[in-house]
Amino acid sequence: MREGQRPRVLRYHLGDLKDHTVYEAEVVGLTLAAQLLATEPNLTFPASIYVDNQAAIRSGETITAKAGHHLVDHFHRQAWELKRAHDDYALTVRWISGHDGVEGNERADREAKKAAGGKEQNSRRTLLPTSHE
């Protein structure tokens, strides 16, 4: 979200909850946020990504081989590419309390629910980040 501008949105259906966790979906959300930054015209820093899942934020503090960590690696690659492309790079991932009525967080929750509806809710493939695995 940018003050005075229409919010940009990316959605990606990761899969069924029996195969994936909320944590994985939150980390995919981080990657989608980084993609929005990477494709932002006239991007300026500092920039912040707000997340209401502390586990997703803490996931970047350690290097482990736990389930879903390849998704964290993808976010880190996105952030590194941003840093390489911008001399003034300053990105912070911040925690925001969920369900406090913050419009940006409420909007993100609505979009996540749409994405959970199935892959037909995905953003166009050409807008989504590519995998570097």
Span 7-58, pLDDT tens digits? 899 999 988 888 888 888 888 999 999 999 999 988 989 999 988 888 888 7
16 in any annotated domain = no
133 in any annotated domain = no
- pLDDT computed for residue 2 by the predictor: 81
Range of the domain at 81: 22-127
- pLDDT computed for residue 52 by the predictor: 85
CATH number for position 51: 3.30.420
3 in any annotated domain = no
> Looking at the 3D structure of the chain, how many domains does it have?
1
Q: What is the pLDDT of residues 68-96, one digit of tens each?
A: 678 888 888 889 999 999 999 999 998 88
User: CB neighbours (10 Å) of residue 68?
Assistant: 19
17 in any annotated domain = no
12 in any annotated domain = no
- pLDDT computed for residue 39 by the predictor: 93
74/129 Cα distance (integer angstroms): 9
E strand residue ranges, the chain: 47-51, 91-95
75/36 Cα distance (integer angstroms): 12
1 in any annotated domain = no
- pLDDT computed for residue 66 by the predictor: 61
pTM to 2 decimal places: 0.83
Torsion of the alpha carbons at 75, 38, 95 and 90, rounded to the nearest 10:
100
